[in-house]
C-alpha cells in the first residue's frame, strides 16, 4: 500500500506497521533485556574478569621467571610483557566465544527466546546485532580492566596501547559474529565438544604463550592465518608500540570476518525462525 493511494492519513498511521522500530531501537531493546537479566548474575560478571588476570600472574610472572625474554619487532621484552597482550586478546576471544555459543544456543533451543522476540516488532537483524553488541559491552569492560592491570604492573610502555582497546572489540566482534553463525547449525549439547576442540587449540597455539617461531614450515603459515593469532599479534604490536603494515592486515582480516559472520547469522536466523 503506497502512501499516495491512501491520502489524508495522520503521520502516525502512515508509518509502515511492519517495522515501527528503527534498527538502533530494536537493538537497544535487546541489549537492555540482556542487561536486566544479567544484573542478577553480577558475581559471574566480576569473576569473569579475574580469569585472564590469574593467567597473567601465573604464566606471565611465575613461568616468566624461567624464561628470560622474547624479541618483538627488534625489541627485547620480558616474558610477562609478551604474555599480557596475548591474554588480553585471548580473553576477548574466550568471552565472545562463550557468549555467542552456549548462551545463544540455550536461548535459541531451550528458552525459545528468539521465537518470542520475533513475535514482537523485533527483526532477526535486531537480534543478531543486539546479541553481538551485548557481548561486546561485556567484553569491553573486561578489556578496559585488564589494560588497567597491565598498566599498573608496568607492562605497557607505549601510547599505542590505548588502541589495544578497540582491537579487543574487533576480536570480540569477529568471533561473536562467526560463532553465533555456527551456533545456529548446532543441534545438541554434544556439539559443544567440537567448540572446545576449536577453542582450546586457538587459545594455546595462537602465539599467546610463546612466539610463532616455535612452529616451522606449513604449520607456521597455518598459525599465522588463524584469526586469534592476528588478534594476538595486533594487541602485542599495540602494547609494545611496534606498529607495522601487518597490523593493518590483521585489522582488515578481523573486520571482514565479523561482517561475513553477521551476514550468515541474519540469514540463518531467518531460515530457522521465520519459516
Partner 1 sequence: MATTEIVRDDRRLSPWQGTARQFDYFWTVYRRTWKSSVISSFVAPLLYVLAMGVLLGTFVHVSPGRLEGATSYLAFIVPGLIAAQAMQTAVSETTYPVMAAIKWHKSFWAQMASPLEVRDLANAMLVFTLFRVGSTCGVYFLVMAPFGVFATWWGPVLAWLSTMLVGMAFGTWTFAFSAFIDGPDAFGLIYRLGLVPLFLFSGSFFPVSNLGTVLEGVAKVTPLWHGVNLTRMLCLDRVDGSTALVNVVVLVVVLVSGWWLAIRMLERRMAT
Q: Which residues bind partner 1 (CB under 8 A)?
A: 41, 43-44, 47-48, 50-51, 54-55, 57-59, 61-63, 65-68, 70, 190, 193, 196-197, 200-201, 204-205, 209-210, 214-215
CB of 189 to partner 1, least distance (A): 8
Q: Which is nearer to partner 1, 42 or 245 (CB)?
A: 42
Q: Quick count: other Cβ atoms within 10 Å of Cβ 103? A: 18
Q: Which is nearer to partner 1, 28 or 73 (CB)?
A: 73
How many Cα atoms are found within 13 Å in the side-chain-facing hemisphere of 19? Answer: 10
CB of 3 to partner 1, least distance (A): 53
> How much helix, strand and coil, in percent to the nearest 5, is found in the chain?
75, 5, 20
Q: Which is nearer to partner 1, 87 or 238 (CB)?
A: 87
Strand partners for 70: 77
Q: Which is nearer to partner 1, 204 or 222 (CB)?
A: 204
CB of 197 to partner 1, least distance (A): 6
CB of 205 to partner 1, least distance (A): 6
User: Would you say how long the chain is, in residues?
Assistant: 275
Q: Which is nearer to partner 1, 55 or 173 (CB)?
A: 55
Q: How far apart are CA 87 and CA 185, in angstroms?
A: 29
Element (H, E) at 141: helix 124-152
Q: How far apart are CA 207 and CA 203, in angstroms?
A: 9
CB of 188 to partner 1, least distance (A): 10
Strand partners for 77: 70
Beta strand 69-72 with 75-78 is: antiparallel
Amino acid at each position: 500500500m503506497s502512501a499516495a493511494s491512501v491520502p489524508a492519513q495522520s503521520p502516525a498511521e502512515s508509518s509502515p506497521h511492519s517495522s515501527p522500530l528503527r534498527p538502533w531501537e530494536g537493538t537497544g531493546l535487546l541489549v537492555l533485556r540482556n542487561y536486566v537479566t544479567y544484573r542478577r548474575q553480577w558475581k559471574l560478571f566480576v569473576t569473569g574478569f579475574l580469569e585472564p588476570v590469574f593467567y597473567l600472574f601465573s604464566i606471565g610472572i611465575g613461568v616468566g621467571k624461567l624464561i628470560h625474554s622474547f624479541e618483538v619487532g627488534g625489541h627485547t621484552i620480558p616474558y610477562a610483557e609478551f604474555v599480557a597482550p596475548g591474554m588480553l586478546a585471548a580473553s576477548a576471544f574466550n568471552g565472545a566465544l562463550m557468549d555467542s555459543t552456549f548462551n545463544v544456543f540455550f536461548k535459541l533451543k531451550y528458552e525459545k527466546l528468539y521465537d518470542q522476540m520475533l513475535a514482537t516488532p523485533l527483526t532477526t537483524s535486531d537480534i543478531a546485532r543486539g546479541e553481538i553488541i551485548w557481548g561486546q559491552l561485556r567484553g569491553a569492560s573486561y578489556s578496559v580492566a585488564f589494560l588497567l592491570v597491565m598498566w599498573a604492573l608496568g607492562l605497557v610502555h607505549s601510547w599505542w596501547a590505548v588502541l589495544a582497546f578497540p582491537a579487543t572489540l574487533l576480536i570480540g566482534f569477529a568471533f561473536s559474529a562467526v560463532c553465533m553463525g555456527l551456533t545456529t547449525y548446532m543441534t545438541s549439547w554434544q556439539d559443544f565438544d567440537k567448540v572446545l576442540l576449536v577453542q582450546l587449540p586457538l587459545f594455546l597455539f595462537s602465539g599467546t604463550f610463546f612466539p610463532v617461531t616455535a612452529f616451522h614450515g606449513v604449520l607456521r603459515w597455518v598459525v599465522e592465518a588463524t584469526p586469534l593469532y592476528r588478534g594476538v599479534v595486533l594487541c602485542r604490536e599495540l602494547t609494545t608500540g611496534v606498529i607495522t603494515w601487518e597490523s593493518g592486515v590483521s585489522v582488515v582480516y578481523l573486520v571482514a570476518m565479523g561482517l561475513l559472520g553477521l551476514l550468515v547469522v541474519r540469514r540463518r536466523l531467518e531460515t530457522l525462525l521465520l519459516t
